[in-house]
Every structure is written in C-alpha cells, then in structure tokens.
Amino acid sequence: MTQQYQKFAAYYDRLMADVNYALWADYLKDLLQSNGILPGEAILDCACGTGEITLRLHSAGYRMTGSDCSEQMLELAQQKARKAGAKIAFVQQELQHISVHKPISAITCACDGVNYLLTKRDVAAFFASANRALKDGGLLLFDVSSAYKLEHVLGGQTFGEDEKSCTYLWQNCFDPKTKLLEMRLAFFVPDGNGTYQRFDERHVQAAHLQEELTTELERAGFLVLGVYEAFTREAPKKESERIQFVVQKKCETASSPQAKQ
C-alpha cells in the first residue's frame, strides 16, 4: 500500500484551491461560540492537514494546537504559521491516540478526517480518546463525507486535472459490501527537462452512517447536541454530501448536560 500525504502534501493546497476555508472556519467558530466555547480557550484541530482551518481559528483568538498523522502535511502547516507569525504547536499523532498536556475546551476535525477511520474499532478509539482529552462540557466538532457521497458522487468516477505544476488522475471504486471507497491517485510532475516524474498514492475512506456514529458517540460519553447538513443548522437530507456533528462531553458533576451553554 502506498503511503498517504507524502509527496502529495506539496500539491495538496493547489488541488484544494476551490475550498472556501474562510467559510468553513466561520461555520466552526459559530458552532463553538453558540455552544459556549469562546476565544481564548484551548482547541486541538485534529487531522489539520496544512493548517488552513487551524490558522483561521487562531486568528479568531483561540489557543490552537494542530495535529495530523502526516509529517509532510505538518511541515507545511508549520511553515504557514511561521510566515503568519502565529505561535501554534503542530504535533504528529493519530486520531485514535490523542494526547494533550491538560484537558482542553474543544476538538475540531474537518474535511473527512473521520472517514479515514476504516473500522468501528478505530472510530470508537477516536471518540474515547477525544473524550479523555476534553474538559467536562467540552465540545467535539467533526464532519464526514456522507455514505451517499462516497457511493453515488465519488464511487465509480474518474477525475483529472492538467495544471502547470502537475497533472493528476483520480480513480474511485466503492465497494457496497465493505462500504469502503478506494481512491487511486497518479501524479505527473514536470521535471523541467520536458519529461514528467510519476508518483502514486492510494487512499481509502469508509462510509459511516449517522446512526452508527451517534451510537458510538453516546457509548464514549458524549451528548449529541446537533447533527447538521454541513455549513447549515438544518437536518441532513438523504442526498446531503457532508454531515456535521456537534457533541459535548457529559459533565460528571453537573446535573445539566448543557453546562457549557
């Protein structure tokens, strides 16, 4: 199996140029603040990638730490932070093994991080790890690409783009039995001598159902405050492509689960 987000990391931002990170960060800020997590509080941004959302939440006044399993993505995130004069720690760790110095107010995980958890055991480990890292009443905000999107929008499709910096082909295959989407990406990078160097990456994402995630969250000690079609406060529809979860660590000493609100 090829490794993920190694050479690809250098081209990730260019290929994600159409993503409105400002809108995404504003949406997360609204969810945080409307549930009592105000600027100045400590947040861990899991699966932070190259740090686009991490930096924006830092600019909004939050004390941010970014984490990712890809060393190459973290290097790019750190470069951005240094350029912006932002003091943000970036650490390499997996979602299933979150480690913090002391309990924090919130954890965010945007843009498919949970889809890369391929088994129920991995999902449960992430939720348990996040719960241990949070203060009582702390928030976990994460989104998933929906099962509908993986099967009907991406599954069976081939995409490609030809840019000066690189050309890529992206082939997808969805297995309805395993509920896994296999993505094979081939990159062709000009070497300046009229020829191209090729490198390949293989990514696999799991189609997690809303009901299954909700069950695992409750088992891990979370209260589900809201499940939305991403970037809205509306309930997900059958054909929603991204689903946002807003959950809260249950308070052990408080009678009300809404203690942070």
Question: Is residue 182 located within the same domain as residue 201?
Answer: yes
Confirm whether 232 is domain-assigned. Answer: yes
Cite the beta strand spans of 110-235 per DSSP E: 134-145, 158-162, 167-175, 180-190, 196-206, 222-229
Confirm whether 258 is domain-assigned. Answer: no
pLDDT of residue 254: 47
Confirm whether 261 is domain-assigned. Answer: no
Domain span at residue 179 reads 149-206
In tens, the pLDDT along 30-40 reads: 999 999 999 99
Last residue of one domain, picked from the residues 171, 189, 206: 206
pTM attached to this predicted model: 0.92
Domain harbouring 141, CATH code: 3.40.50.150
pLDDT of residue 2: 40
Burial of 37 (0-12, 13-18, 19+ CB in 10 A): buried
State the total domains in the chain: 2
Other C-beta atoms lying within 10 Å of the C-beta of residue 145: 22
Domain harbouring 157, CATH code: 2.20.25.110
Question: Is residue 100 located within the same domain as residue 194?
Answer: no
Summarize the confidence of residues 116-140 as an average pLDDT.
Answer: 98
Confirm whether 192 is domain-assigned. Answer: yes
At 136 the three-state DSSP class reads: strand
Burial of 238 (0-12, 13-18, 19+ CB in 10 A): exposed
pLDDT of residue 13: 85
pLDDT of residue 258: 45
Residue with tokens 């002391």: 102
Q: In the predicted model, is pLDDT for residue 185 greater than 80?
A: yes
At 167 the three-state DSSP class reads: strand
Q: In the predicted model, is pLDDT for residue 224 greater than 80?
A: yes
Question: Is residue 117 located within the same domain as residue 237?
Answer: yes
At 28 the three-state DSSP class reads: helix
Question: Is residue 97 located within the same domain as residue 132?
Answer: yes
In the sheet with 167-175, reading across from the earlier edge strand, the strands are 158-162, 167-175, 180-190, 196-206
d(CA 211, CA 240): 15
Question: Is residue 191 located within the same domain as residue 214?
Answer: no
Question: Is residue 124 located within the same domain as residue 239?
Answer: yes
pLDDT of residue 108: 98
Confirm whether 3 is domain-assigned. Answer: no
Confirm whether 255 is domain-assigned. Answer: no
d(CA 233, CA 221): 23
Confirm whether 2 is domain-assigned. Answer: no
